[in-house]
Amino acid sequence: MIHGGGGFDSIVGYFGGTESSHVVRVGCALRDDQLVLYQTDREDELVPLKRPVFCPITHLSPEAAASLPTDTANRGVDVGVAVVLETTDQHVLLTRRARHMRTFPRVWVPPGGHIEQGETLLEAGRRELQEETGLHLPKCRGDVLGLWESVFPPMLNLGLPKRHHIVVYVHLLAQQSQAVLQDRLELQASEVDGAAWLDRSLVEAIVASDQEEEGVTCSSPSIPKTFK
């Protein structure tokens, strides 16, 4: 398990995020099996680091923070990788986490997981993609899209924070169409119980929507009016 930072202070906040600003730009690199985030003036090294507007860390009172169990408060920040796999016909793969998962059960997410010792970010992403979906794509091009500060439970009304992650999103461009890759899917039942391919226009509508809305309204007639 790879760790970076510590405690339940917001990483976005550390790099300048405020109550009304939830995205910053940072440098990002794996060094000695640890994710290092840093400030830099080099545009080619900067990636967005974002948290949701309802991030529980930003709304955690001093009293609530003091009540966290010692092992939770001292756990540090875990690091994971998520793969945004895009096909030649512009479809993106999502998987649904199994019901028994300790964090985010039954939630639709890109394939992903932990980073093993000695791996690069892209190597970790390709390995997790193969383990969870059966898709072995060693030749597809990829790069880092951005970072997401994730806390579980995701909102304070669901309970006090238990886990704190920085998730590195990597974008992989497949050399095959959605139909070809669909025939190759072999889901890892212990972690994944569903998969879906979303058209890129629907993904863009979801990303552009307000994070606190229950549904995503889409104007295009080719996609559903809502996505929940």
* pLDDT per residue of the chain (228 residues) written in tens, 0 to 9: 333 444 578 999 999 999 889 999 999 999 999 999 999 999 999 999 999 999 999 999 999 999 999 998 888 899 999 999 999 999 999 999 999 998 999 999 999 999 999 999 999 999 999 999 999 999 899 999 999 999 999 999 999 999 999 999 999 999 999 999 999 999 999 999 999 999 988 888 777 765 444 444 555 555 555 544
pLDDT on residue 224: 56
**Domain ranges within the chain, ordered by starting residue:** 3-208
Tokens coding 158: 């669901």
Q: Which CATH superfamily is domain 3-208 in?
A: Nucleoside Triphosphate Pyrophosphohydrolase (3.90.79.10)
CA-to-CA distance for 168 and 176, rounded, in angstroms?
24
pLDDT on residue 215: 47
pLDDT on residue 218: 52
